Amino acid sequence: MGSVDVVETMEIGGDRVTVFRQEEASSVTRTSTIVLRGATQNFLDDVERAIDDGVNVVKAVTKDPRLVPGAGATEIQLTERISKYADRTPGLAQYAIRKYAEAFEVIPRTLAESAGLNATEVLSRLYTAHQQQAQSGSEDEEEGSSEEEEPYWTTGVDIHASTPSAPLTSRRKTFSTSLFQSSCRSSSQAEAARTVLSVDQIIVARQACGPKPPGQNPSLGRGLR
């Protein structure tokens, strides 16, 4: 597994942590070990999941450094744009496309519900904010806007809103998510939908027919009272 020169406990931010350190710079490796400490196993599991999520985010960014706005802002834009594409699609295919667009509402709706907000009101305000900013953005493009102005598609759900009347946040207060992860998530959703649609018939499993297993006769033992 390897070896270290020094193993010591240090106090960092008021917490006691165990540090494994190499004294010589030439012996430093690219492998890091994180030692977690906690009072309960549930707390350790939560911290482990948080670290694992952070490592996966860094791993995804190394594959594709492009980022998209989080907090449901990207999903709202996908819903609007796919819905507009459904309006231009003739035939019955437009209904399937529109339902696929509505499926992206799950992300901002879940964020709002988890934060204790009114999900229906938050989604309505998100759509209104995106449409208003889209109109103002098109006007600014004609007149010429500065690069410091935020794009209209960066408004998302603010789970830390101080008042229920202000559950929206802009890009500067929104955590970004990896484009690679968003693409994989969308591909997985589409693949799951195609799998369900490809099923022609569902056979419900039933209990096998046959004689009942032998059991104790309820009449036995009555005469022993």
Residues 115, 129 share a domain? yes
The string of pLDDT tens digits covering residues 47-84 is 899 898 888 878 877 887 777 777 778 888 888 888 88
Q: Which residue, 66, 88, 116, sits at the end of a domain?
A: 66
Tell me the C-alpha distance between 100 and 78, whole Å: 10
Residues 180, 96 share a domain? yes
Residues 45, 83 share a domain? no
Residue 144 pLDDT more than 60?
Answer: no
The string of pLDDT tens digits covering residues 160-170 is 665 555 556 55
**Greatest CA separation found in the chain?**
100
- Of 1, 18, 25, the C-alpha closest to 9 is 18
Residues 183, 80 share a domain? yes
pLDDT recorded at residue 145: 47
Residue 156 · residue 69 · CB < 8 Å? yes
Between CA 130 and CA 169, with CA 144 as vertex, the angle to 5 degrees is 30
Q: Write down the mean pLDDT value for the chain.
A: 72
Residues 123, 45 share a domain? no
Residue 9 pLDDT more than 70?
Answer: yes
pLDDT recorded at residue 147: 46
Q: CATH number for the domain including 154?
A: 1.10.560.10
How much of the chain exceeds pLDDT 70, in percent? 58
Instruction: Please provide residue 91's backbone torsions phi and psi, each rounded to the nearest 5 degrees.
Output: 85, -170
Residue 60 · residue 163 · CB < 8 Å? no
Average pLDDT over residues 93-109: 83
SS3 34: coil
Residues 80, 91 share a domain? yes
Domain that holds residue 159: 69-142+150-195
Tell me the DSSP string of 54-99: HHHHHHHHHH---EEETTTHHHHHHHHHHHHHHHT--STHHHHHHH
b/e burial code for range 128-147 (CB count within 10 A of at least 16 → b): ebbeebeeebeeeeeeeeee
